[in-house]
Amino acid sequence: MPVITLTVDGELVSARHGQSLLEVLRDLGADLPTLCQCPGLSVQGGCRLCLVEISGTNKLLPACTTEAAEGMAVTTGSERLQEYRRMVVELLLAERNHTCAVCVSNGNCELQALAANLGVDHVRFSYQYPVMSMDLSHERFGLDHNRCVLCLRCQRVCDEVEGAHTWDVMARGGMSRVITDMRRPWGESSTCTGCGKCVQICPTGALFDKGMSVSEMEKERGFLERILAGRSRHQSKGQGHGRSRKGNGDE
Amino acid sequence: MDAVGREMAMSKKIRLATAWLAGCSGCHMSLLDLHEELIGLFDAVELVFSPLADVKEFPAEVDITLVEGAVANLDNLELAEIIRSNSRLVISFGDCAVTGNVTSLRNQIPVEDLLSAVYREGAASLPGSGDAEGIVPKLLPRVLPLHQVVKVDAYLPGCPPSPQRISAAINALLAGELPKLPPDMRTFG
């Protein structure tokens, strides 16, 4: 596999041809915040937390969907990038009703941890307080739209790993919702296998095991790596971090 | 300045206030959980206003005010504005002041519907025979975090902030700096 050379934060580094910038940066041990990205799933490019500066373009590009190229000069941690990352997290917190103090995932939440790590100690935007429902029709799991960040990890893990494709997303912008089976109640889904991968992969308290109270929902993050370790590459659409979100579509 | 004057200036205590807007007072309970640290604190500060002290009016020329609770009604709004104009530094103390938190859970419900559900349709009635005018402060249409009402100088998140967080923040303030807490001490919730 051909090796390419690029510059990351002033240092010359080498990478394999075809790697995404995020993969290169992770290999270097860089601490780049991500929310929608999840090793083992296809890339989404949705959360914009891994935005980087690349010389020669004024656009900030997500490291997860950008392929590393020969001679590229990348900046990962400028004050401008940090400010945009803080804004992304603040907008996520303002968009729905994330009340950490009364959340099942309080203390075990990726959004909460991101906010603290990025220095978000208050939100400068007006909270939207949208009226959001919950779906508690499933026997074992619950869905709380108030806490969903639309990372679509649930959708991808269900489609790409479980192969059920129960989850999808409806509507646009602030009206977007994750849905099960063409917006049927989750408990009535004919495709859901009840495997719970979506619950474990969800970064917040949007998907949870029923019966959990405040701070009790601890998710098991390692399951995906274990499952995928036992599969060959062609068995999983997402593995290998394909550039295109949908893969080839015919796998 | 003579020696006595200098000593008086040196020993001038920092004028600290704490206020309780719309919150559960849990942040003040956490403040009391500083235990023996409070004794040292009161060597350095004079508590000039607080729900823990019997002071009726918010005084002038306060150095630091810790504000617990969100801004939910007209009384909160009025006090928040007085606090701001009379304090050198205003600190949002706990999640309700910082984010609205539990206090703001009512924001999805119109105020009139809320009052009807709680008072008019329930077993109890609104104080003042169904009309609260002049007896209980009018609710704002939406509960607001403190910084959306007045300028806030620093934020101390947590529900409640642990005594360790409060201690770190107060020590920074007493040293003349705005608190900059490490990531694990600035989480919401």
- What residues of A are in contact with residue B186 (Cβ under 8 Å)? 116, 119, 121
Give the pLDDT confidence score for residue B119 in this predicted structure: 76
CB contact under 8 A, B145 and A122: yes
* B165, part of any domain: yes
- Is residue B17 in a domain? yes
List, for chain B, all residue ranges whose pLDDT scores fall below the cut of 50: 1, 128-129
Tell me whether residue B24 is in a domain. yes
Distance, in angstroms, between B36 CA and closest chain A CA? 28
Contact state of B188 with A130 under an 8 Å Cβ cutoff: no
Closest Cα in chain A to B160: A101
Residues A132-169 as b/e (b if ≥16 CB within 10 A, e otherwise) read eeebeebeebbbbbbbbbbbbbbbbbbbbbbebebbbe
A vs B, Cβ pairs < 8 A, gives 69
pLDDT of residue A230: 86
User: CB A218: neighbour CB atoms within 10 A?
Assistant: 13
Q: Specify if B46 maps to a domain.
A: yes
Residue B101: list chain A partners with CB under 8 A. 99, 101
Residue numbers in B near A124 (CB within 8 A): 147
CATH of the domain at B168: 3.40.50.700
C-alpha torsion angle, residues A169, A170, A174, A175 (rounded to 10) = -140
Q: Is residue B113 part of a domain?
A: no
A115 reaches B (C-beta below 8 A): yes
Question: How close B69 comes to chain A (CA, Å)?
Answer: 14
- Domain extent, residue B168, equals 3-104+140-177
Q: Do A116 and B147 touch (CB under 8 A)?
A: no
B144 Cβ neighbours under 8 A, 6+ residues apart: B70, B71, B72, B100, B104
Burial annotation A16-31 (CB, 10 A radius, 16+ → b, else e):
eeebbbbbbbbeeebe
Nearest CA-CA distance, residue A210 and chain B, Å: 21
From the candidates A129, A145, A147, A214, which should be mutated to test the interface with B, based on the most B CB atoms within 10 A?
A129
Instruction: Assign domain A3-77 to a CATH class.
Output: alpha beta
CA-nearest of A136, A132, A147 to A211 is: A136
- Backbone dihedral angles phi then psi of residue B133, each to the nearest 5 degrees: -50, 120
Is A190 buried (19+), middle (13-18) or exposed (0-12) by CB count in 10 A?
exposed
Measure CB to CB from residue A121 to each of B108, B142, B155 and give the nearest one: B155
- In terms of Cα–Cα distance, which of A217, A218, A205 is closest to A111? A205
What predicted TM-score, i.e. pTM, was given to this entire model? 0.91
Nearest to A34 by CA among A21, A52, A47: A47
pLDDT tens-digit profile of B34-87?
999 999 999 999 999 999 999 999 999 999 999 999 999 999 999 999 999 999
**pLDDT at residue number A251:** 32
d(CA B169, CA A166): 47
Shortest CA gap B16–chain A (Å): 22
3-state DSSP assignment of residue A26: helix
Q: Which H/E stretch holds residue B4?
A: helix B3-10
Q: Which of B101, B142, B189 sits opposite A112 (nearest CB)?
A: B189
> What is the pLDDT at residue B107?
97
Q: Would you call B102 and A102 a contact, using CB atoms and an 8 Å cutoff?
A: yes
**Hey, is the C-beta of A112 within 8 angstroms of any chain B C-beta?**
yes
Q: How many helices and strands in chain B, by DSSP H and E? A: 7, 7
Place of tokens 């403040």: B31
Question: What count of other Cβ atoms lies within 10 Å of the Cβ of residue B122?
Answer: 10
Q: Do B104 and A103 touch (CB under 8 A)?
A: no
B186 belongs to a structural domain: no
The correct answer on CATH 3.30.70.20 for the domain covering A83-225 is yes
Does A125 lie at the interface with B, CB-CB under 8 angstroms?
A: no
**Per the structure, how many domains does chain B have?**
1
The structural domains of chain A, with segments of one domain joined by +, span: 3-77, 83-225
Nearest to B102 among A99, A123, A126 (CB): A99
Q: pLDDT tens for chain A, 251 residues: list them.
A: 699 999 999 999 999 999 999 999 999 999 899 999 999 999 999 999 999 999 999 999 999 999 999 999 999 999 999 999 999 999 999 999 999 999 999 999 999 999 999 999 999 999 999 999 999 999 999 999 999 999 999 999 999 999 999 999 999 998 999 999 999 999 999 999 999 999 999 999 999 999 999 999 999 989 999 999 988 765 655 544 444 444 433 33
Nearest CB to B102; choose among A101, A112, A122: A101
For residue B130, is it within any domain? no
What is the C-alpha to C-alpha distance for residues A120 and B186, in angstroms, rounded to an integer? Answer: 8
Inside any domain, residue B110: no
Interface check for A213 against chain B (CB to CB < 8 A): the answer is: no
Question: In this complex, do B105 and A97 lie within 8 Å of one another by their Cβ atoms?
Answer: yes
